[in-house]
Chain A
């Protein structure tokens, strides 16, 4: 038996001159040595690799080290700010040296030439460059994700925004005489259904501008809605309303389970125009809260999201319908087995295929932008965009289904004396219907999913709503939209795979 070892085709043994010249050549221009030693393809590849690495490195150094005058400063700044560039530079140097070594080994026909290690190193340097170019910053990811938690929480569990209660304003009032003199005002008897507020004492001095604090009042509220945030407001003698601030913050208190609270506040500073100043005045202290009463009902947000979700599903359905209708005739033109009859039909075949490929390679999102220019914002633009893309995608899938039919049954049906139409109905249709159905359902699934994205650029449906809510920073509403999209897509996924499993 012959033992054949895998060896590169090396017809002539290396001449000794080449053995010396090769590494020298690679010192001047990396890769030339390999070319001299016969492996010119490898040499070229190495040269291109190293040149690309150096080019990319220079570009990144220039960007990171900009605003430095000289090159040394630029390089130092770049390496300082982005140490990974230093790693890349060292890698490039190693590759350079390795190429020289490789040229020597190749020229001498020694083992170790064309080592996997060299290619691995080149690849590693590319990835290091990719890390830098991609601006990857794991520290940011780790530290800032905590700050984003409140927003994430709203998106992940947005359902508070899905219910709505009728709201009432509850206000407890107390009168405060400023300054104290005579009989302090008695607590106000609250109106029917309104809470009561009692201040103790019910008179006092304002805070001074220079910092002497005013009188501390202990206020007690009763009959408020339980566990609800309550704001403290004042109305001065000029009937101007303002909120109580303490240490720069608005004062807020949350009522207990019985709807009561107790709180100490300091009478604030207030500049009263001299013309209006009087010896005594009566201010009003108010505790206000917005309380939810009545049963929970679906919120505006929820209803809107449901509406738009339905719009989205139908948008996908209509696009699929138009896609099917238009792609079936196209698919016959794009089926090679049907179109290889003559030169003319073959030209039609190639033309159809090319157009389909071009249309398919343009994302539905871009088609939507184009469609909006033509038909304006709204669901119709989305339908047009998805239809165009569906025709291309389904046309290709259908035509491949037609191409893969078994010619045997067709031959057999023809042999019975059946005519052309009968052959199609009995021989071709039963073979292509299951794949057609399968592809169609798959496409419907894709179209509904895509229609959520189409909305982002104004193509109607829930995507439009979602992007608006995100821009308004209404993360709860956005969260509801995201939930609806995920639920719909999950259901659709299940349904479509189920139908396909049963049908095919």
Chain B
């Protein structure tokens, strides 16, 4: 259970990115965060794993306030929080397998990682993660030789290496076309269902939200303006969606229901 209470973030230049945001994420939830660009989605996700330090508020996870952690404790907490990025954030010149193994750094002593020697179990974990995400043939390629969809799967594999209890996904499909978007999201959905990893994912398209979310929160100008369950979302029309979301909202494409989660490997 992740419990975010009264979270506020004010940037040094005075921008209020989050204002008194509170919500809960029960374990095993696929929570989708919707909102315009600049509404605070990225800031919210980065506050949870403390890539950004919140100004005020608490982020209580398994009884620990993440907002108060420092140094080694923070590092230990981060190990269980995977993150997937819009721009994939792979080290482009490194090999795919190296990028995947980087997810294990939190569990690896410094001297081992300095010489690049990971434990045999870690190598086995990497093999499994890559095979699960269908990128085994690309293991020895440089990350920037891969297509966008493949790169994002490497990003998910890296997060999976952390043996996370929660994955933060910051617009994971915004740089991808609709077919790939379904592929990536169904990978996340499988991790959610098979491994009971909670997913916090920011998304743009209503049909994707309806297809994957188990609950939804909406942000506008840093404030929480919408909270809904799976059923609430299923019933939601484009009009209501635009109301919380703004005029830019649109559908990714008429793929809802046509693409079963099992065919997620398509790209």
By a beta-carbon cutoff of 8 Å, the part of chain A in contact with chain B is 406, 408-409, 411-419, 421-422, 425-427, 430-431, 433-434
Contact = CB atoms under 8 A, between A and B. Distances in A.
Nearest to A410: B89
A409 to B, nearest CB: 5
B98 to A, nearest CB: 8
B110 A422 contact: yes
B90 A409 contact: yes
A431 B203 CA distance: 30
Nearest to A417: B106
Contacts of B88: 408
A326 B83 CA distance: 38
A340 to B, nearest CB: 12
Contact of A416 (B78, B85, B90): B78
A442 to B, nearest CB: 19
A422 B6 CA distance: 33
B167 to A, nearest CB: 11
Given A408-B85, A422-B113, A425-B114, A415 B49 contact: yes
Contact of B105 (A406, A426, A430): A426
Contacts of B162: 416-417
A35 B75 CA distance: 68
A49 B181 CA distance: 65
A417 B89 contact: no
Contacts of B98: 426
A412 B81 CA distance: 11
A430 to B, nearest CB: 5
Nearest to A428: B91
Interface in B82-99: 82-83, 85, 87-94, 98
Contacts of B106: 416-418
Contacts of B78: 414-417
A414 B51 contact: yes
Interface string B255-267: 0000000000000
B103 interface: yes
Contacts of A413: 91, 102, 105
The winner among A412, A430, A434 for most chain B CB atoms within 10 A is A412
Given A418-B102, A418-B106, A412 B114 contact: no
A409 B93 CA distance: 11
Contact of A431 (B93, B107, B108, B155): B93
A418 B105 contact: yes
B79 interface: yes
B158 interface: yes
Contact of B76 (A406, A414, A417, A431): A417
A421 B114 CA distance: 8
A419 B90 contact: no
Given A418-B105, A418-B113, A426-B94, 18 more contacts: A406-B89, A408-B85, A408-B89, A409-B90, A412-B158, A413-B102, A413-B105, A415-B49, A415-B78, A416-B78, A416-B102, A416-B104, A416-B158, A416-B159, A417-B106, A419-B110, A426-B102, A426-B105
Contacts of B79: 416-417
Instruction: Give the bracket for the number of chain B residues in contact with chain A.
Output: 35 or more
B94 to A, nearest CB: 5
A408 B159 CA distance: 15
A412 B85 contact: yes
A408 B51 CA distance: 11
Given A412-B158, A418-B105, A430 B87 contact: no
A412 B75 contact: no
A421 B112 CA distance: 11
B93 A434 contact: yes
Contacts of A412: 83, 85, 89-90, 102, 155, 158
Contact of A422 (B81, B89, B90, B105): B105
A420 to B, nearest CB: 9
B158 A431 contact: no
B105 A416 contact: yes
Contacts of B155: 412
Contact of A409 (B51, B91, B105): B91
Name the 7 nearest CB pairs between A and B, nearest first.
Answer: A417-B106, A418-B105, A417-B79, A408-B89, A412-B89, A417-B78, A415-B83
Contacts of B82: 415-416
A426 B81 contact: no
A415 B87 CA distance: 15
Contacts of A417: 75-79, 105-107, 162
Given A415-B51, A415-B78, A421 B110 contact: yes
A430 B94 contact: yes
Nearest to A426: B102
27 contacts: A408-B85, A408-B87, A409-B90, A409-B92, A411-B85, A411-B89, A412-B102, A413-B105, A415-B51, A415-B78, A415-B83, A416-B78, A416-B79, A416-B82, A416-B158, A417-B77, A417-B162, A418-B105, A418-B106, A421-B110, A421-B113, A422-B110, A425-B113, A426-B91, A426-B98, A430-B91, A430-B94
Contacts of B91: 409, 413, 426-427, 430-431
Contacts of A411: 51, 85, 89
A271 B118 CA distance: 101
Nearest to B101: A426
B257 to A, nearest CB: 33
